[in-house]
Amino acid sequence: MDENYEKSGKIVSKVRKKAMEMVKEDLKVLDLVEFTEQEIRNLGGEPAFPCNVSINEITAHYTSPYQDKTVLKLGDLVKIDLGAHVDGYIADSAVTVIVGGESIANPESALSEDEVHLQIKMIETVTQALENAISTVKDGVNVGEIGRVVEETVTAQNLKPVSNLTGHSMERYILHSGLSIPNIKEDNRHKIMEGDVLAIEPFVTNGVGLVTDMKEAYIFRFLRDRPLRMAQSRKMLQEIVQNYRNLPFAGRWLQESMKSRQFNLVLRNLISSRALYPYHVLKEKSNARVAQAEHTVIVEPEGCRIITK
């Protein structure tokens, strides 16, 4: 088991670095997510979920839909969240980068000098919050203590953690296995235990610190088998179970073999019948920009092992 977690972690670490280096002005988001997912496969893993590329106030759950035309712009604050699994053992990590780097001298950027400084501060703060949170992790620690450390690190910089997003525990083939790791102080007495696999992922903003659902959803997960009248719906659900089990998948992974109108009809049928769960794109409620950092750790008696470093 540990060996497969280590393999997944090394894959994620290598691919994360390559994805960061790829970020540049006018890059298609579709090219970035497809590169990231294919590179995971090239290194011997499988994507544990579609690569998320969430820009500026978009906080999470954005992956390119089929034939996406979205491009990165100079000054964009880009969160890349990727996961790999080897035989179901998952590693999950995220990083935030600024398109065009952190130079404030670029005259073509739409951002003011103060705005660039703020984005740099947000990245530095979320990175420090992640490090501080990880330093508290060991057998027997309350999850509320991890949230307290994140919140105190962030508010000390006059920024806010996103309070309604959390980290999560993971198990084989299960990305969110029931335990939430808060990013704010909570009266939560649940203790983490040796052997727990946790994704610690603070989010930092200068906005109100809440996310809200958008109407769009490009990522889905199998929920349960349902009686379906449409033959195409039954066929697609069978393909989903066979290829992805309970792990999230992208609509574009299925769409290439079907016309868009037909695909959307089948997808709506699967969602309305509650065979599939849609992950709606999340954005910061006040439309402020958000930075994210994330590592996967395995809890040990006196600390933890970071497998995605």
Q: How do the pLDDT tens digits run along the chain, 309 residues long?
A: 689 999 999 999 999 999 999 999 999 999 999 999 999 999 999 999 999 999 999 999 999 999 999 999 999 999 999 999 999 999 999 999 999 886 655 666 678 888 889 999 999 999 999 999 999 999 999 999 999 999 999 999 999 999 999 999 999 999 999 899 999 999 888 999 999 999 999 999 999 999 999 999 999 999 999 999 889 999 999 999 999 989 999 999 998 777 778 899 999 999 999 999 999 999 999 999 999 999 999 999 999 999 999
- ∠ CA 22-25-27, rounded to 5°: 55
Q: Pick the catalytic residue: 176, 239, 280, 300?
A: 176
- The yes-or-no answer on residue 176 being catalytic is yes
- The yes-or-no answer on residue 2 being catalytic is no
- The yes-or-no answer on residue 190 being catalytic is no
Q: Pick the catalytic residue: 68, 92, 151, 284?
A: 92
Could you tell me if 303 and 100 are in contact, meaning their C-beta atoms sit under 8 angstroms apart?
no
Q: Pick the catalytic residue: 168, 186, 284, 295?
A: 168
pTM over 0.75: yes
Nearest to 281 by CA among 4, 61, 47: 61
- The yes-or-no answer on residue 213 being catalytic is no
- The yes-or-no answer on residue 87 being catalytic is no
- The yes-or-no answer on residue 61 being catalytic is no
Full set of structural domains in the chain with CATH: 2-213+281-306 (3.90.230.10), 220-280 (1.10.10.10)
Taking the C-alpha atoms of residue 140 and residue 225, their distance in angstroms, rounded to an integer, is 38
Q: Tokens for 59, please give them.
A: 């906080």
- ∠ CA 164-37-275, rounded to 5°: 60
Q: Pick the catalytic residue: 37, 39, 46, 81?
A: 81
